[in-house]
Amino acid sequence: MLFHDVLIIGGGLAGLRAAIAAAEKKVDVAIVSKLYPPRSHSGQAQGGINAALANNPKAHDDTPEKHGFDTVKGSDYLADQETSIYLTEQAPEAVFEIEHWGCPFSRTEEGKIAQRPFGGAGYPRTCYGTDKTGHYILQTLFEQTIKHNIKVYNEWEVIGLAKDVDTCCGVIALNMHSGELEAMGANAVVFATGGSGRMYGNTTNAIPSTAFGVAMPYWAGIPLKDVEFIQFHPTSLYPSNILMTEGCRGEGGILVNKEGDRFMKKYVPKAMELGPRDIVARSVQTEILEGRGFDDAYVYLDLRHLGKAKIMERLPGIREITMDFNGIDPIEEPIPIQPGTHYYMGGIDVNIDGASPLKGFYAAGECACVSVHGANRLGGNSLLETVVFGKRAGASAGEYAKDKPKQPKTNALERALKREEENFNQMLKSNGNENPYTINAELRKLMPEKAGLFRDEKLMTEGLEQIRVLKERYKKIRPVVSGSSFNFDKIWVLEIKGNLDVAEALMAGGLARKESRGSHFRTDFPKRDDVNFLKHTLATYTPEGPKLSYSEVQITKYQPVERKY
Ligand X SMILES: Cc1cc2nc3c(=O)[nH]c(=O)nc-3n(C[C@H](O)[C@H](O)[C@H](O)COP(=O)(O)OP(=O)(O)OC[C@H]3O[C@@H](n4cnc5c(N)ncnc54)[C@H](O)[C@@H]3O)c2cc1C
Q: Annotated active-site positions, please? A: 233, 249
The CA-atom distances, in angstroms, between 197 and each of 191, 288, 344, 459, 468 are 17, 22, 7, 20, 20
Nearer to ligand X, 383 or 416 (CB): 383
Nearer to ligand X, 71 or 537 (CB): 71
Instruction: Give the shortest CB-91-to-ligand X separation in angstroms.
Output: 11
Instruction: Give the shortest CB-455-to-ligand X separation in angstroms.
Output: 22
Selected from 54, 87, 98, 192, the binder of ligand X by CB under 6 A is 192
Selected from 200, 212, 474, 533, the binder of ligand X by CB under 6 A is 212
Taking CB under 6 A as the binding criterion, the range among 12-20, 59-67, 319-327, 477-485 that sits at the site for ligand X is 12-20
Nearer to ligand X, 84 or 516 (CB): 84
- Cβ burial of 559 (10 Å; 0-12, 13-18, 19+) is exposed
Q: Assess 48 for contact with ligand X (CB under 6 A).
A: yes
Q: Assess 32 for contact with ligand X (CB under 6 A).
A: yes
Selected from 55, 88, 133, 196, the binder of ligand X by CB under 6 A is 133
- Cβ burial of 147 (10 Å; 0-12, 13-18, 19+) is exposed
Nearer to ligand X, 21 or 464 (CB): 21
Q: Assess 134 for contact with ligand X (CB under 6 A).
A: yes
Selected from 92, 160, 170, 195, the binder of ligand X by CB under 6 A is 195
- Give one word for 241, left, alpha or beta, with left for phi > 0 and alpha for psi -120 to 50: left
Q: Assess 293 for contact with ligand X (CB under 6 A).
A: no
Instruction: Give the shortest CB-265-to-ligand X separation in angstroms.
Output: 26
Find the residue with minimal CB distance to ligand X.
Answer: 12
Backbone phi and psi for residue 89, each to the nearest 5 degrees, phi listed first: -70, -35
The 432-471 site mask, x for binding ligand X (CB under 6 A), equals ----------------------------------------
Task: Give the residues across from 254 on adjacent strands.
Answer: 302
Taking CB under 6 A as the binding criterion, the range among 45-53, 161-169, 272-280, 407-415 that sits at the site for ligand X is 45-53
Q: Assess 185 for contact with ligand X (CB under 6 A).
A: no
Dist CA 17 CA 360 (whole Å): 18
Q: Assess 88 for contact with ligand X (CB under 6 A).
A: no
Nearer to ligand X, 212 or 521 (CB): 212
Could you say which DSSP state residue 31 is in?
E
Q: Assess 202 for contact with ligand X (CB under 6 A).
A: no
Contact positions with ligand X (CB under 6 A) in 321-360? 343
Q: Assess 217 for contact with ligand X (CB under 6 A).
A: no
Selected from 10, 234, 448, 510, the binder of ligand X by CB under 6 A is 10
Nearer to ligand X, 416 or 464 (CB): 416
Selected from 13, 113, 254, 369, the binder of ligand X by CB under 6 A is 13
* Residue 215 C-alpha from the chain's centroid: 14
Q: What count of Cα atoms within 13 Å lies in the side-chain half-sphere of residue 378?
A: 38
Cβ distance 237 to 353 under 8 Å? no
Dist CA 129 CA 314 (whole Å): 8
The sign one gets for the Cα dihedral 85, 91, 94, 97 is negative
Cβ distance 196 to 213 under 8 Å? yes
Rounded to 5°, the CA angle 235-292-301 comes to 30
Dist CA 359 CA 382 (whole Å): 26
Q: Assess 160 for contact with ligand X (CB under 6 A).
A: no
Q: Assess 236 for contact with ligand X (CB under 6 A).
A: no
Taking CB under 6 A as the binding criterion, the range among 3-11, 179-187, 469-477, 505-513 that sits at the site for ligand X is 3-11
Taking CB under 6 A as the binding criterion, the range among 75-83, 193-201, 434-442, 447-455 that sits at the site for ligand X is 193-201
Burial per residue of 105-127, b for 16 or more beta-carbon CB atoms within 10 angstroms, e otherwise: bbeeeeeebbbbbbbbbbbbbbb
Q: What is the dihedral of CA 424, 426, 427, 431, to 10 degrees?
A: 160
Q: Assess 381 for contact with ligand X (CB under 6 A).
A: yes
Selected from 68, 92, 201, 208, the binder of ligand X by CB under 6 A is 208
Cβ distance 388 to 86 under 8 Å? yes
Give how many residues touch ligand X by CB under 6 A. 46
Instruction: Give the shortest CB-191-to-ligand X separation in angstroms.
Output: 8
What's the first-to-final CA gap in the chain, in angstroms?
A: 56
* Residue 507 C-alpha from the chain's centroid: 18
Nearer to ligand X, 48 or 398 (CB): 48
Nearer to ligand X, 33 or 466 (CB): 33
Instruction: Give the shortest CB-106-to-ligand X separation in angstroms.
Output: 13
Q: Going by C-beta distance under 8 Å and a sequence separation of 6 or more, which residues neighbour residue 111? A: none
Selected from 9, 103, 395, 460, the binder of ligand X by CB under 6 A is 9
The CA-atom distances, in angstroms, between 19 and each of 184, 407, 532 are 16, 20, 40
Q: Going by C-beta distance under 8 Å and a sequence separation of 6 or more, which residues neighbour residue 57? A: none
Q: Assess 380 for contact with ligand X (CB under 6 A).
A: yes
Dist CA 121 CA 17 (whole Å): 25
Nearer to ligand X, 275 or 365 (CB): 365
The residues of the shown chain that bind ligand X, judged by CB under 6 A, are 9-15, 32-35, 37, 40-42, 44-49, 133-134, 157-158, 192-195, 204-205, 208-209, 212-213, 243, 245, 343, 365-366, 379-383, 386
